[in-house]
Amino acid sequence: MKKTATRLADGRELIYYDAHDDTVRDAVDPRPLDPIATSSEIRHDRLLGDRVAVASHRQGRTYHPPADECPLCPSREGRNSEIPAADYDVVVFENRFPSLAGDSGRCEVVCFTSDHDASFADLTPEQAALVLEAWTDRTAELAGLPSVEQVFCFENRGKEIGVTLGHPHGQIYGYPFVTPRTQLMLRSLAEHRERTGRNLFDDVVADEVADGRRIVLEGEHWIAFVPYAAHWPYEVHLYPKRRVPDLRDLDEGARTEFPQMYLELLQRFDRIFDGRGGGKEGAGEPPTPYIAAWHQAPFSVADRGEFALHLELFTIRRTSGKLKFLAGSESGMNVFINDVPPEAAAERLREVASE
């Protein structure tokens, strides 16, 4: 991998990640951009103990532009985008409309490919491996910022999720605090250690292996399963078999196997509802909307090694043409009601294995 860092016209950082060491990245951003002005503010909810990012400047962000005006495509034919180069492998840049900025953290955009009509599931294993390298590198870089306590790499896919740009991309948030969901995991982790003397993540994976009914996919270095208490209709958790706190600690075997495992899971998600799949728009049911979320250990917590890096992949579609909405119980009281038994979801995901 070759990494080339540069700056956009308004001073934001942009980084190219290339598969070939001889690639030259010297294109400049000719756009007459004003310096970014953000109003991001972190507010503390005294009743719940969590935090809310207030970012009014995001009201002006780009919203569903036509394909020929996509800001994440390469700059070509006289049209300048967020990426000055005429082509690219993987690109990461600072978000022009960040939810978190300055002392309140950092937000980055990750473009998985220059192909506007593709999806992550369409990538080759080599391309997916390069994205993994970019996620890992950004985790390492953001870990060095005093304003960042936890790094969250994720992808939102589909208009149903709320995606406003159709180009295949994800995001990286550098939070200045430990997120509420991670706080709950850390609390359960500590309680389990005190009660049993064992690691909770290890026991969860071992219990799923022993049961077997919810295992979706297993390799030499990774295992994927629908969790026993899945919140979402189709939800898969992907764990490296060797527990590590974050992406930086994956060994070579896990890095090599990850692309095949992850691409297979994404392709199965696209086949859940119509049996044909295909990441691109076209035949049958539209591509499955999903969220893919990497959970990594915060940087300043004690015993970081107790935390287990894992990826959670889930869709809000519960059946063909129908979505799972977060209504009264979920939104009002945070009590999820799942219409699809986890065992049935796992069976379906095994059925749609690629040939």
Cite the active site residues.
169
Q: Distance (Å, rounded) from C-alpha 266 to C-alpha 273?
A: 13
The structure tokens 């026991």 sit at: 203
40 with 96: CB under 8 angstroms?
no
Give the residue among 349, 140, 68, 60 at the shortest CA–CA distance from 226. Answer: 349
Residue at 226: amino acid letter: V
317 with 323: CB under 8 angstroms?
yes
Q: Distance (Å, rounded) from C-alpha 158 to C-alpha 286?
A: 9
Give the residue among 247, 92, 100 at the shortest CA–CA distance from 171. Answer: 92
116 with 157: CB under 8 angstroms?
no
Residue at 20: amino acid letter: H
Of the CA atoms within 13 Å of residue 30, those in its CB half-sphere come to: 8
